[in-house]
Structure 1
Amino acid sequence: MNRDLPDVVDALVIGGGPAGLSAATWLGRYQRSTLVVDAGQHRNRFADQSYGLLGRDPTTPAALLADARDGLEQYPHVTVHDGTVSTVHHEADGRFSVQVDGAHLTAQRIVLATGVRDHLPRIAGFMEHYGTDVHHCPACDGLTARGHDVIVLGAGDHVPAFASELLDWASTVRIITDTTHDVFDEGQKATLAWHGIEVIDGSAEAFIGAPGALEGIRLADGHVVEGSSVFFSYAHRPTNDLAVRLGCELDDEGQILVNGHQLTSVDGVYAAGDITPGLDLVSIAIGQGTAAGVACATSLRGHGTVERAPTPAPPTRQFTA
């Protein structure tokens, strides 16, 4: 859907995943001139399926985004560009100066939907299995591991809680982690033992079995830990570089803080999806994108917009007795 980039837009949506395309859809319905810039780094692009979406459970991530882009074709004021936003600067007049793949444009509003990037384990065969029988989200893919012997790969004091969540579906859960690091305190170890979750000290080296027919993981010492599903959790980094440059307030995890309308601490900048605190689910990202798109669009009511877009409604008329 790439077209020539406009010089000025009402709204720039940075990120073309579920949150960004949802925001763009509603900006289109409010007839705001909108540019979506998508770098194509969607978090779930490796997953075979997306689950729990009302009316299309399951669907593939690629089909979901393709249908969303097709839906934007009905809104002539919305443009989607496959590329990268390199800089965003908040001007004194309240507008935003933006560089997109070397081109300059001006936007009145910004929607940040840049998501997060997961730290992926460096294990032989990982990419072949990722999205099929190796996952990063228990809520998203836990049901697919129903009755399985599940292996959890991870490091950090959050891993015991992450592993315990999988007990809703798994037959057994084992954690492979490097226990030479003091990552689990005594209370966590006791809780894991109470739940019957075994902690295995070792370095995962390779996946055993074909994608979709996982048999286990071989450790560096040659020992094989048997399992038919793997979930991993090391770390993920919010893609917040642009938010930092704009001065948006972040939480301790680096995610963008927003109010009930998805407005950040910077006037005119909205954020939605995994880049904000809360559950990292596609359905929630879509809802947050809707809220951001509507709030962003209505914030322009009574303001002048670009020439090719319809004029927003005038300010509310004041009546006197």
Structure 2
Amino acid sequence: MLPGTVCALVVGGGPAGLSAATWLGRYRRPTLVVDAGEQRNLAADRAHGLLGRDPTTPRQLLADARAGLAQYPHVRLHQGCVTALRRDEDGAFRAEVDGREVAAERVVLTTGVRDRLPDLDGLAAHYGTDVHHCPACDGPTAQDRAVVVLGSGAQLPGYAAELLDWAAPVRLVLDPAEPGIDDGQRAALADHGVEVLEGTAVALTGEPGDLRGVRLADGRTVPAAKVFFSYAHLPAGDLARQLGCALDHEGLITVDGFQLTSVDGVYAAGDVTPGLQLVPIAVGEGAAAGVACATSLRGRPALGGAPAPGPPTRRFAPG
């Protein structure tokens, strides 16, 4: 049974959301975490760069975080979806969670983003093993191996060049039907030894874990042990728009140093905010959001049987 009222509603149960919920639990704020179970990196074989546990698997990371929340009795996890979110005139937030209304004094948005995937035969079997979207996360696994980069847009040359820290050779395949790159970008890639090919990628060759190449529509096969792609990543859902949060040019939620959005009482963390999209950063931003959210409630009446917060002092963040 969902609670009718909580101090904080965390929307999203990935690394950022579970980190925020952990700190809300430590401050003994009654918290509901609603998780749709659609974390961006679930297809990946490994999550890298986490202090003290490098590598781990995305599923193990989430399982351990959820288990850790069990020590905080005021935090509740719910598998489901928040489909609507609004703020009443009295300042309370009202969320529709799987058809039931839940009221909250604060909201933390950690809904993440969704990647546009390449249209490739065999992608489902290879994605997360030898096809990746994040150079910083999985680039080291391509050390001294041939890489093909797919994608579109002005950011693509920089994305391809980042892989030169590990891979060799790096080849960029540009689909004529996609937004391309200019002559200056082509020249810069050539200076760095990145070959640019024209063609439409249609299929992967080889078995998962033993990728051999990318087949193009004209019959050519470009050798590759790894494929990286960058087309677009869009915020998941429109809850931030429903609340009127300020967004940047990519539709990501702008926040201040305490992860507070332009809407008082609404915090955001993780990939749905601007900046590097890495699990360790999502965890840190989630912690900042959780602490700021919890301390903004200091002096407010406790809900759900939680101990009363201490008297208001200097607030950690506005709210």
Which band: TM-score by shorter chain?
A: over 0.9
Look up the SS of the partner of 1:274 in the other structure: helix
Counterpart-to-counterpart distance in 2, 1:226 and 1:181: 22
2:112 aligns to what? 115
1:211 aligns to what? 208
Deviations 1:45-82 (A, max 9, x none): 10000000000000000000000000001111100000
Q: CA deviation at 1:181?
A: 5.4
Deviations 1:123-144 (A, max 9, x none): 1000100000110000001000
User: Equivalent of 2:299, from 295, 302, 307?
Assistant: 302
Evaluate the alpha carbon distance shift between residue 57 and residue 181 of structure 1 in structure 2; reply closer, same or farther with a 3 A threshold: closer
Return the TM-score normalized by structure 1: 0.96
User: Equivalent of 1:228, from 225, 229, 245?
Assistant: 225
Look up the SS of the partner of 2:60 in the other structure: helix
Structure 1 segment 163-174 matched on structure 2, within 5 A = 163-174=160-171
Alignment check: 8 A CA contact 2:174 2:199 kept: yes
Matched, 1:34 2:31: yes
Q: CA deviation at 1:205?
A: 1.1
Counterpart-to-counterpart distance in 2, 1:140 and 1:26: 26
Deviations 1:1-57 (A, max 9, x none): xxx210100000000000000000000000000000000110101000000000000
1:22 aligns to what? 19
Deviations 1:260-286 (A, max 9, x none): 000000000000000000000000000
Which structure 2 segments of 5+ residues have no match?
Answer: 315-319
Alignment check: 8 A CA contact 1:126 1:207 kept: yes
Alignment check: 8 A CA contact 2:147 2:224 kept: yes
2:71 aligns to what? 74
Q: CA deviation at 1:105?
A: 1.2
1:256 aligns to what? 253
Q: CA deviation at 1:308?
A: 1.2
User: Equivalent of 1:291, from 285, 288, 291?
Assistant: 288
Matched, 1:188 2:185: yes
1:104 aligns to what? 101
Q: CA deviation at 1:310?
A: 1.2
Letter of the 1:194 partner, please give it. D
Counterpart-to-counterpart distance in 1, 2:288 and 2:161: 32
Counterpart-to-counterpart distance in 2, 1:219 and 1:182: 18
1:13 aligns to what? 10
Look up the SS of the partner of 1:298 in the other structure: helix
Q: CA RMSD in A?
A: 1.1
Aligned length: 314
Evaluate the alpha carbon distance shift between residue 302 and residue 181 of structure 1 in structure 2; reply closer, same or farther with a 3 A threshold: closer
Q: CA deviation at 1:158?
A: 1.2
Q: CA deviation at 1:191?
A: 0.2
Letter of the 2:246 partner, please give it. E
Q: CA deviation at 1:180?
A: 5.8
1:52 aligns to what? 49
Look up the SS of the partner of 1:167 in the other structure: helix
1:315 aligns to what? 312
Return the TM-score normalized by structure 2: 0.97
Matched, 1:145 2:142: yes
Which structure 1 segments of 5+ residues have no match?
Answer: none
Identity of matched residues, % = 63
Q: CA deviation at 1:171?
A: 1.2
2:58 aligns to what? 61
